[in-house]
């Protein structure tokens, strides 16, 4: 009986334990499922779908590949907000990070009257001291603010050429902003005049480094034009502009639209300028052009507020009155109209008087035709001499009586108009003047038109047919650096720069050659040129080198005295190095004694080298050694070009 009671108790206890176990297992499973589900939903809602959740009892295991370490940490934190953080087991990994992309190297340089500022990122291998010294040299005593940062990444191949070019541009532009990166250079600057703007654009466009995009934006103050003038006409050849000035872009648009309406199809070169007499200038000009179109021809000149309309010969008087009346009533306040209906001149048995001035491409000027008196003839000759030079004038004029009033003024105005042309002809008649030819000045037509209006009056009838030829433009036609060196080689092919024996004094016989070289270099603009001196092998090597250096310096000094811009030139003496002939013969030694001109071309730069030593040397002439001993005397014979001989080596 006693065993039976104990057995029953054991059975009851076992059953209770089993029930407790089953209940506990069910509870754990339920908690596990709810925890996994809650964490999974939270991770997906927050964008961490890359993570998977598994349960192990009360533990929550996170698996998956996190994009970044930060994303992995955020996933753990989000899970810890749903279940106890102690129950979260991290089995996640982090994706391998991509290779770090090198930063873009770039510099912004700002230069003005207050100094120079630099900001940007440069390669760590850049020689900062040399770069700073170069910038301070350009700043010429003004403050330099250096806010550059450096990064240790590979240097692009085009970085140094871009920086080299930019520093040369910075030296030319005292008011500028230059943006530099390895592929592009952007130059923004302010010039003092349209002429300087044109010169700078040509100079900056030369020697552009390869594989680098160059963007140039130079602004210039608008010119002041007085009188503010537009001259438009229609003749047998169609519509034409002799002069065009406008105060705004909107005015230019109205003028072009009006000219197009009456049949003009060419390009309108309207100069944006200061000096417009009215804010309604564009409207007034458009009305005047429209009037010429309605007349079917003639010319209109608008000079400040004076509008002068000249109808074509044979115009119907009623049409003339209608057009002039409409124009007078529609013009803005302040504008006044003067209209003229020409009458056919009476025929003369001898034909109309004529004066002709011609200028050849070689610069020779011929004056022919009728002159009213000897005084006018003398004045015309002297005026032409002043404009073209005494040796270029040929007189073929004839003094006659009965010429129209104002003939002398027309003759002198014609000569002055001819001076605006590189070559051409001016024909002066009583009622008209014709100007034809070529010029290197893009606005010559407008300049001639204003000149004739000023000298002859607004009712003057003249025809201008002037062609702009780029090759005649003294700036646009600058030769390339290679062409400049080729020209120097051409003039030195049969001649040599010679010196007095054993000295650095240029001989008198070499002066004409120096003059010719100077004339070439004056037309070449901003170039980096090396003037190198060489000797034969006679004498001591050190003395030969010193003498060749002094002779190269002497050539540079002679060019400077002839107003050649030599700030970017470099003189160097090589002594007896690099012979071009046999030093064992007199002819060979003479050939080796020479001066050579060559372009300074930047050397190729190894990828790991990005110092700016070459830049620092730009525009700084090497200092020659003063008081260096001269080479020993040789027999007193003229030393041929670049002679550098001393006594034979002992």
Q: Would you state the pLDDT for residue 475?
A: 65
Pick the closest to residue 504 from 564, 455, 571, 448 (CA basis): 571
Nearest residue to 31 (alpha-carbon basis) of 87, 74, 86: 87
pLDDT of residue 636: 36
- Which residue do the tokens 């009586």 mark? 401
Q: Is pLDDT above 60 for 188?
A: yes
468: left (phi over 0), alpha (psi -120 to 50) or beta: beta
* Lowest-confidence region among 2-16, 31-45, 516-530: 2-16
Strands 365-371 and 355-359: antiparallel
Averaged pLDDT for residues 76-93: 81
Exposed, middle or buried: residue 440 (CB in 10 Å: 0-12, 13-18, 19+)? middle
Contact 184, 215 (CB under 8 A): yes
User: Considering the entire predicted model, what is its pTM?
Assistant: 0.51
Residue with the larger pLDDT of the pair 627 and 256:
256
Q: Is the pLDDT of residue 259 over 60?
A: yes
Kind plus residue range of the DSSP H or E element containing 521: helix 511-522
Average pLDDT of span 513-523? 88
The helix (H) or strand (E) run that includes residue 22 is: helix 2-45
Closest Cα partner for 594 from 507, 501, 476, 499? 499
Residue the block writes with tokens 């002055």: 416
Give the whole-number percent of the chain exceeding pLDDT 90. 29
Alpha-carbon radius of gyration of the chain: 43
> What b/e readout covers 578-603, taking b as 16+ CB neighbours within 10 angstroms?
ebeeeeeeeeebbbbbbbbbeebeee
Kindly report the number of other CB atoms within 10 A of residue 289's CB atom.
27
**Does position 526 have pLDDT exceeding 80, yes or no?**
no
- Please name every residue paired with 41 in a beta bridge, in sequence order, or none if there are none: none
**Average pLDDT over every residue of 485-496:** 87
Calculate the alpha carbon distances from 298 to 236, 315, 458 in Å: 10, 9, 13
Torsion sign over Cα 228, 234, 236, 241: positive
Mean pLDDT of 563-570: 83
**Which alpha helices (DSSP H) does 430-469 contain, by range?**
444-456
User: CA–CA separation, 321 vs 336, rounded Å?
Assistant: 15
Sheet holding 365-371: strands in order across? 393-399, 365-371, 355-359, 423-428, 433-439, 462-468
**Which tokens hold the place of 50?**
């890359």
φ, ψ for residue 49, nearest 5 deg: -65, -15
DSSP 32-95: HHHHHHHHHHHHHHTT-TTEEEEEETTEEEEEEEESSHHHHHHHHHHHHTTS-GGGEEE--EEP
How many other CB atoms are found less than 10 A from the CB of residue 560? 15
> Residue 637: is its pLDDT beyond 60?
no
Mean pLDDT, range 396-423, rounded to an integer: 90
DSSP, collapsed to helix, strand or coil, labels residue 368 as strand
Cα distances from 534 to residues 497, 568, 646, in angstroms, run 12, 21, 13
Q: Coil, strand, or helix at residue 98?
A: coil
Give tens-digit pLDDT for 85-103: 777 888 888 887 655 567 8
Residue 283, C-beta contacts closer than 8 angstroms, at least 6 positions apart? 254, 332
Q: What is the pairing mode between strands 594-599 and 59-66?
A: unpaired
CA dihedral defined by 586, 588, 593, 598, rounded to 10 degrees? 170
**Residue 210: cis peptide before it, omega within 30 degrees of 0:** no
Tokens at 47, concatenated: 């964008």
Model pLDDT for residues 193-227, shown as the tens digit of each residue:
777 888 888 778 776 777 888 899 988 888 888 88
Query: Domain 106-219's class?
Result: alpha beta
Q: What is the dihedral of CA 218, 224, 225, 230, to 10 degrees?
A: 50
pLDDT tens, 297-325? 999 999 999 999 999 988 998 899 999 99
Find out if CATH 3.30.1340.30 is the number for domain 28-94: yes
Best CATH choice for the domain 481-617 from the list 3.40.50.11540, 3.30.70.260, 3.30.1330.60, 3.20.20.100: 3.30.1330.60
Measured between alpha carbons, how far is 614 from 547 in angstroms, rounded to an integer? 25
Range from 378-387, 619-628, 635-644 that averages highest in pLDDT: 378-387
- Evaluate whether 550 touches 624 at the Cβ level (below 8 Å): yes
Distance CA 379, CA 386 (A): 11
pLDDT at 49: 82
Mean pLDDT of the chain: 82
3-class DSSP state of 607: coil
Mean pLDDT of 325-335: 91
Least confident segment among 327-341, 346-360, 527-541:
346-360
The alpha carbon of residue 471 and the mean position of all alpha carbons in its chain are separated, in whole angstroms, by 19
For 464-489, how does the pLDDT look when each residue is reduced to its tens digit (9 = 90+)? 888 888 777 766 666 777 888 888 88
Secondary structure (DSSP) of 218-283: EE-PPPB-SS-EEEEEEETTEEEEEE-EESSHHHHHHHHHHHHHTT--S---PEE-B--S-TTHHH
* pLDDT given at position 645: 40
411 pLDDT exceeds 50? yes
- Would you tell me how many other CB atoms lie within 10 Å of the CB of residue 263? 10
* pLDDT > 50? residue 624: no
Residue 68's CB is within 10 A of a number of other CB atoms, namely: 11
Per-residue pLDDT at 612 exceeds 60 = no
Residue 511 CA to residue 500 CA, distance in Å, equals: 12
Closest CA to 38 of 81, 90, 86, 91: 81
Contact between residue 544 and residue 631 where contact means Cβ atoms under 8 Å apart? yes
For 142, the enclosing helix (H) or strand (E) is: none
* Pairing relationship of beta strands 462-468 and 433-439 according to DSSP bridges: parallel
- CA-CA distance, 373 to 123, in Å (whole number)? 78
**pLDDT per residue as tens digits for the range 189-202:** 988 877 788 888 87
Residue linked to tokens 């334990």 = 17
Q: How far apart are CA 111 and CA 147, in angstroms?
A: 14
| Burial label, 635 (beta-carbon count in 10 A; 0-12, 13-18, 19+) | exposed
* pLDDT above 80 (res 511): yes
How large is the average pLDDT for residues 406-427? 92
Residue 21's pLDDT is: 60
Can you name the CATH fold of 355-472? hypothetical protein tt1634 (3.40.1520)
pLDDT value of position 344? 65
Average pLDDT over residues 153-157: 87
Q: Could you tell me which of 424, 397, 392, 618 has the C-alpha nearest to residue 526? A: 618
pLDDT at 538: 85
Residue range 395-422: mean pLDDT, rounded:
90
Q: Which of 46-50, 223-227, 308-312, 603-607 has the highest mean pLDDT?
A: 308-312
pLDDT digits (tens, 9 = 90+) for 347-405: 555 567 889 999 998 889 999 998 999 999 999 999 999 999 888 999 988 888 888 88
Within 8 A by CB and 6+ apart from 503, the residues are 630
242 has pLDDT over 80: yes
* Alpha carbons 361 and 365: distance in angstroms, whole number: 10
DSSP 470: G
Compute how many other C-beta atoms are within 10 angstroms of the C-beta atom of residue 188.
Answer: 16
* β-strand pairing of 245-246 with 271-272: parallel
- Residue 623: per-residue pLDDT: 38
């Amino acid at each position: 009986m006693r065993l039976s009671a104990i057995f029953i108790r054991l059975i009851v206890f076992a059953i209770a334990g089993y029930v407790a176990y089953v209940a506990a297992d069910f509870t754990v499973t339920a908690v596990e499922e709810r925890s996994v589900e809650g964490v999974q939903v939270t991770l997906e809602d927050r964008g961490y779908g890359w993570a998977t959740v598994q349960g192990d009892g009360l533990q929550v295991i996170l698996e998956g590949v996190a994009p970044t370490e930060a994303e992995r940490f955020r996933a753990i934190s989000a899970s810890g907000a749903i279940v106890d953080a102690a129950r979260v087991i991290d089995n996640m990994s982090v994706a391998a990070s991509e290779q770090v992309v090198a930063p873009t190297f770039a510099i912004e340089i700002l230069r003005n009257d207050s100094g120079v500022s630099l900001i940007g990122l440069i390669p760590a291998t850049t020689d900062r001291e040399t770069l700073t010294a170069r910038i301070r040299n350009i700043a010429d005593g003004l403050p330099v603010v250096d806010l550059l940062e450096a990064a240790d990444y590979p240097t692009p191949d085009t970085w140094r050429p871009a920086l080299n070019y930019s520093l040369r541009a910075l030296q030319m532009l005292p008011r500028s902003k230059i943006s530099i990166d390895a592929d592009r250079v952007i130059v923004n600057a302010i010039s003092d005049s349209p002429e300087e703007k044109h010169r700078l654009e040509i100079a900056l466009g030369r020697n552009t480094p390869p594989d680098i995009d160059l963007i140039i934006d130079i602004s210039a103050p608008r010119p002041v034009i007085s009188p503010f003038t537009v001259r438009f006409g229609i003749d047998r050849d169609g519509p034409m502009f002799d002069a065009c000035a406008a105060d705004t872009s909107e005015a230019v648009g109205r003028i072009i639209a009006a000219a197009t309406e009456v049949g003009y199809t060419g390009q309108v070169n309207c100069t944006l300028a200061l000096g417009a007499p009215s804010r309604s200038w564009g409207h007034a000009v458009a009305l005047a052009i429209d009037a010429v179109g309605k007349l079917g021809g003639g010319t209109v000149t608008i000079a400040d507020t004076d509008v002068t309309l000249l109808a074509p010969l044979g115009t119907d008087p009623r049409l003339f009155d209608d057009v002039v009346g409409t124009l007078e009533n529609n013009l803005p306040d302040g504008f006044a109209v003067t209209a003229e209906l020409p009458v056919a001149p009476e025929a003369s048995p001898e034909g109309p008087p004529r004066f002709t001035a011609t200028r050849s491409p070689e610069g020779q000027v011929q004056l022919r035709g009728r002159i009213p008196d000897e005084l006018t003839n003398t004045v015309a000759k002297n005026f032409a001499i002043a404009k073209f030079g005494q040796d270029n004038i040929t007189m073929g004029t004839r003094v006659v009586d009965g010429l129209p009033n104002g003939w002398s003024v027309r003759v002198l105005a014609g000569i002055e108009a001819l001076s605006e042309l590189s070559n051409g002809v001016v024909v002066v008649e009583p009622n008209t003047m014709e100007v034809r030819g070529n010029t290197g000045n893009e606005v010559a037509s407008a300049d001639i038109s204003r000149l004739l209006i000023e000298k002859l009056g607004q009712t003057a009838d003249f025809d201008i047919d002037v062609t702009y030829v780029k090759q005649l433009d003294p700036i646009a036609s600058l030769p390339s650096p290679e062409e400049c060196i080729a020209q120097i080689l051409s003039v030195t092919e049969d001649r040599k720069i010679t010196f007095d024996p054993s000295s650095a004094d240029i001989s008198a016989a070499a002066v004409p050659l120096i003059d010719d070289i100077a004339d070439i270099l004056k037309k070449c603009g901003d170039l980096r040129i090396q003037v190198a001196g060489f000797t034969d092998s006679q004498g001591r090597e050190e003395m030969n080198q010193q003498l060749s250096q002094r002779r190269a310096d002497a050539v540079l000094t002679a060019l400077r005295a002839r107003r050649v811009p030599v700030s970017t030139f470099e003189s160097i003496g090589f002594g007896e190095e690099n012979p071009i002939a046999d030093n064992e013969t007199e002819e060979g030694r003479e050939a080796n004694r020479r001066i050579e001109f060559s372009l300074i071309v930047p050397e190729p730069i190894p990828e790991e080298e990005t110092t700016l030593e070459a830049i620092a040397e730009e525009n700084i002439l090497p200092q020659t050694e003063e008081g260096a001993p001269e080479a020993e005397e040789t027999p007193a014979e003229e030393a041929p070009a670049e002679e550098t001989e001393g006594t034979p080596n002992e």
